[in-house]
């Protein structure tokens, strides 16, 4: 497993629970076989010896994806095709039928991790990425991936007991993920299609039981206020619709306004988190610098006693905030090097050159 994965021993039931409950992972993979192969022909012949007839539904749909570092491979699609051929040829010779195959990950998915002459083959229990929760029917510009939003909230140690304010909410991902977390709602309950239900002899009864158990864990109490705002009416409309789809609209208060006008609950503190635009993705840098100066002023003036967070990228924008950073947490978002910056906003927070 590479550094973006975690390996653990688990039963199939545990793996189902992981699919339903994980907030920051993309896939749950079940190791199927390790093979030695130094080129694509060996990949084909070794993979063809595996007992695919025990796991692949020949009447289903199959997709193969791969991660390969092998000098003989110059076309990244070639290993997928050779492994898919091995699986389908094996099934044709053993059961006389083979699944349809293609790039859609809505059916059965096989993953290949191949480094030099060692290949590991996994049955992907998830299918389409877990970040595709199913609630974001209305993306607004530059939305944050749901898994990143969940990771940001975890890094903030958000648990629903303190108010959360999300100015510049875009399509509402941070606010919606927060509401799901605060209610202990398994994010996986929002979608129904998982690859593990398409394997041969899929245990659909246990899956239904796991879904029912996850529903029992949903908290009865509502979290502290969650407030989301954006200057664009269209963004707030998208957020509201997405929150309805996620079943958490009643937990979020929406406002159309400039971030600096976002109303904060007056009693006690809480967390305020901003994910503005950053140069490499959208907008012009000079204009962004003046927006980030205003973000610094907003945090200092309006949010005294709160914890402030800014998710962004690039030294000039971070510098423009002009507040002392208490913590920087690195993130990779859409292949861009980003930071979650934490500010402790006591009355009279110091303006500094960051
Ligand atoms: C990068 S997007 C936020 C994406 C959001 N996290 C999501 O997941 O969809 C930045 C948002 O800031 C909003 N925005 C830009 N300038 C603003 C301002 N002055 N006040 C409030 N919102 C603003 C934009 O309309 C946009 O929706």
pLDDT (tens digit per residue) in 91-101: 999 999 999 99
Q: Is the dihedral of CA 301, 303, 309, 311 positive or negative?
A: negative
CA nearest neighbour of 62 among 133, 130, 129, 124: 124
Q: Please state the atom number of ligand 1 nearest to the C-alpha of residue 276.
A: 10
| pLDDT, tens digit, 9 for 90 and up, residues 144-192 | 999 999 999 999 999 999 999 999 999 999 999 999 999 999 999 999 9
Provide DSSP, 197-233: GTSTT--HHHHHHHHHHHHHTS-SSPPSPEEEEES-H
Q: How many CA atoms lie within 13 A of 339 on its CB side?
A: 14
Predicted local confidence at residue 280, as pLDDT:
59
CA 281 to ligand 1: nearest atom: 1
321 neighbors 295 (Cβ within 8 angstroms): yes
Give the model's pLDDT for residue 139: 73
Beta strands in the chain (DSSP E): 29-36, 61-69, 100-101, 108-115, 118-124, 164-166, 226-230, 252-256, 271-274, 306-312, 327-333, 336-345
pTM: 0.94
For ligand 1, say whether the CB of 50 is within 6 Å of any of its atoms. no
Dist CA 92 CA 89 (whole Å): 5
Query: Measured on CA atoms in the order 100, 134, 149, 275, is the torsion positive or negative?
Result: positive
58 in ligand 1 pocket by Cβ < 6 Å?
no
For ligand 1, say whether the CB of 146 is within 6 Å of any of its atoms. Answer: no
Least confident of 101-110, 313-322, 328-337: 328-337
**Which pLDDT value is given to residue 4?**
81
Q: Is the CB of 135 under 6 A from ligand 1?
A: no
69 pLDDT tier (thresholds 50, 70, 90)? very high
- 255-268: average pLDDT: 94
DSSP 348: T
Positive or negative: CA dihedral 96, 101, 106, 112: positive
Residue that has been written with the tokens 């929760």 in this structure = 133
Ranking 1-15, 67-81, 259-273, 301-315 by mean pLDDT, the lowest is 1-15
173 lines ligand 1 (CB under 6 A): yes
Q: Measured from the CA of 311, which atom of ligand 1 is nearest?
A: 6
Q: Across the chain, what does the average pLDDT equal? A: 94
Return the structure tokens found at 64. 């193969």
Task: Please list the residues that pair with 115 across neighbouring strands.
Answer: 69, 118
Using a 10 angstrom Cβ sphere, with 0-12 exposed, 13-18 middle and 19 or more buried, the burial of residue 3 is: exposed
Residue nearest to ligand 1 atom 10, measured at CA: 276
Say how many Å lie between the CA of residue 245 and the centre of ligand 1: 21
Could you give the CA distance from residue 163 to residue 255 in angstroms, rounded to a whole number?
A: 15
CB count within 10 Å of CB 305 equals 12
């Amino acid at each position: 497993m590479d550094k973006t994965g975690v390996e653990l021993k688990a039963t199939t039931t545990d793996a189902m629970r992981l699919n339903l409950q994980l907030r920051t992972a993309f896939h749950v993979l079940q190791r199927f076989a390790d093979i030695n192969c130094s080129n694509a022909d060996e990949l084909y012949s070794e993979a063809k010896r595996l007992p695919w007839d025990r796991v692949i539904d020949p009447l289903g749909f199959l997709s193969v994806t791969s991660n390969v570092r092998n000098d003989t491979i110059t076309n990244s699609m070639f290993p997928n095709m050779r492994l898919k051929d091995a699986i389908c040829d094996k099934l044709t010779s053993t059961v006389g039928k083979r699944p349809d195959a293609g790039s859609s990950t809505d059916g059965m998915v096989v993953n290949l991790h191949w480094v030099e002459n060692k290949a590991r083959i996994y049955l992907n229990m998830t299918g389409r990425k877990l970040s595709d929760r199913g609630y974001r029917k209305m993306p607004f510009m530059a939305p944050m991936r749901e898994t990143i939003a969940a990771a940001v909230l975890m890094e903030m140690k958000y648990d629903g007991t303190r108010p959360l304010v999300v100015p510049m909410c875009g399509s509402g991902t941070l606010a919606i993920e927060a509401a799901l977390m605060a209610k202990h709602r398994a994010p996986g309950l929002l979608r129904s299609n998982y690859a593990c239900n398409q394997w041969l002899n899929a245990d659909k009864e246990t899956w239904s039981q796991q879904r029912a158990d996850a529903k029992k864990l949903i908290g009865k109490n509502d979290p502290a206020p969650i407030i989301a705002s954006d200057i664009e009416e269209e963004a707030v409309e998208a957020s509201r619709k997405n929150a309805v789809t996620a079943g958490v609209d009643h937990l979020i208060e929406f406002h159309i306004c400039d971030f600096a006008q976002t109303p904060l609950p007056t009693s006690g503190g809480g967390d305020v988190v901003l994910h503005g635009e950053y140069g490499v993705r959208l907008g012009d840098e000079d204009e962004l610098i003046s927006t980030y100066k205003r973000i610094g002023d907003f945090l200092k003036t309006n949010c005294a006693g709160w914890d402030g967070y800014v998710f962004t990228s690039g030294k000039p924008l971070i510098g423009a905030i002009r507040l002392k950073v208490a913590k920087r947490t690195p993130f990779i978002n859409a292949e861009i090097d980003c930071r979650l910056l934490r500010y402790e906003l006591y009355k009279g927070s110091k303006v500094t050159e960051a």
